[in-house]
A = this chain, B = another copy of it.
Amino acid sequence: MSFNKITPSDIDFFREVLPASFILADEENIERCSSDNTEDFVFPPEIILQPASTEEVSKIMRYCNEHNIPVTPRGAGTGLSGGALPVHGGICLDMRRMNKIISIDVDNFQVITQPGIITEELQNAIKEQGLFYPVDPASKGSCFIGGNVAENSGGPRAVKYGTVKDYVLNLEIVLPDGEVIWTGANTLKNATGYNLTQLIVGSEGTLAVVTQIVLKLIPYPAENLLMLVPFEIAEDAAKAVNKIMLSGHTPSALEFMEKDALTCAIHYSGSNVTVPENIQAHLLIEVDGNDKEVLFKEMENISFLMEDFATGEILFAEDSEQKNELWRLRRVVGEAVKHSSVYKEEDTVVPRSYLPELLHFVKKTGNKYGFKSVCYGHAGDGNLHVNIVKGDLSDEFWNEGLPVAIREIFEYVHSVKGTISGEHGIGYVQKPYMNIVFNEVQMNLMRQIKQIFDPKGILNPGKIF
């Protein structure tokens, strides 16, 4: 791909589209938009544009398409696969000004929103209307809903409520040539032509720029209960997950944390939760619903099931403060591990019952190659985040040896019908591993789809393929 560098005459055009204050090239903003939350990558854009409307996005895209200028859409920059890195320079399309909720339709349990709103703010506005948008990535306090759509994000509640794709009914998108279309209809059912909506969800900003999102909502569950179960054997925690699901319970969260993940989070956040010596892993289990008595019964049943395993004392969160404390610990794990060392995060996902085996395989591979990993994730979905810590490993091993080890882990994952990303996306960092899960026929179908939407390849180049 050969792209054009941005020239003064390009800037003149952008000044016709946007006020000067939303065309940025200062050091601070360039630095901000050079990285996301993925490892320590730095790819500076040449310029940052901050549109406020679909029309502005359309004008920018049409111009860049005509002039062969690469455009990388950016949400909040919390991505974990490098989806927002402008690896070919060009324009960072910073969506933060498109942060309005267009409408919350209480009659139809739907919200129409722009992409640049923080997910938690959107959730809170929805909750005020008695409704629930349940998908809550760990970064919900800072990530944008648009980024969530781009990466098909999940989070702890996916085990009961699914991921972003299960809530997106319709999208307004701007194609690279500037055309604006809706992908579907605002209906719960749709059997009208090909599913363009689900083609865009999870396409990581490589097919179109999402400018409006219609989400399905559900009634807000009035009550929830939370408990933390400590296990003496880490693989038992993974086995307990199957036991819970097979007994007919569907918790609203079933989160796995290795000892190191939790202790790391405790130290990082200064919590006074303690982890006894003999404990190797924890499960954080939440149930939700409208009837507190039913939930108490459910929690009781689940704790009985835990008696089959060697556990420590189960901690039942007594009030919302304690619940928040436990959730905060779970949510900061990623940040805490990152704070302690450079690391690579792999987003492995397998059919749930393979989780104990996956954990075992990761540790075995670590022993073989001599790296340490901190594992945690959404055990109810079989989604294990494997954080490989650099520590004092050599740069040589980090850059050349480690990819071989990661490949082995991904090959195992593929062998049990899992895949290499459950909720983070492929973006920039997992590209080299796509050929483990897709052959040339599959890859060619995807490349040709990219070609249809973006024939000049200007939109988020260098990602997925």
Contacts and interface: CB of A to CB of B under 8 A. Distances in A.
Contacts of A352: 107-109, 188
A388 to B, nearest CB: 19
A432 interface: no
B350 A219 contact: no
**Of A110, A130, A246, A290, most B-chain CB atoms within 10 Å:** A246
Interface in A198-236: 198-199, 201-203, 207, 218-219
A383 interface: yes
A105 B193 CA distance: 32
Given A219-B250, A453-B445, A194 B186 contact: no
**How many monomers of this chain does the complex have?**
2
A191 interface: yes
Contacts of A163: 189
A426 B193 contact: yes
B421 A191 contact: yes
Contacts of A152: 190-191, 195
A179 interface: yes
Counting chain B CB atoms within 10 Å of each CB, the highest count among A154, A207, A414, A452 belongs to A452
A442 B195 contact: no
Given A193-B446, A198-B198, A186 B418 contact: yes
Interface of A: 105-110, 130, 151-154, 158-159, 162-163, 165-166, 170, 175, 179, 181-196, 198-199, 201-203, 207, 218-219, 242, 245-246, 248, 250, 290-291, 294, 347, 349-353, 378, 381-383, 414, 417-426, 430, 434, 437-439, 441-442, 445-446, 448-450, 452-453, 464
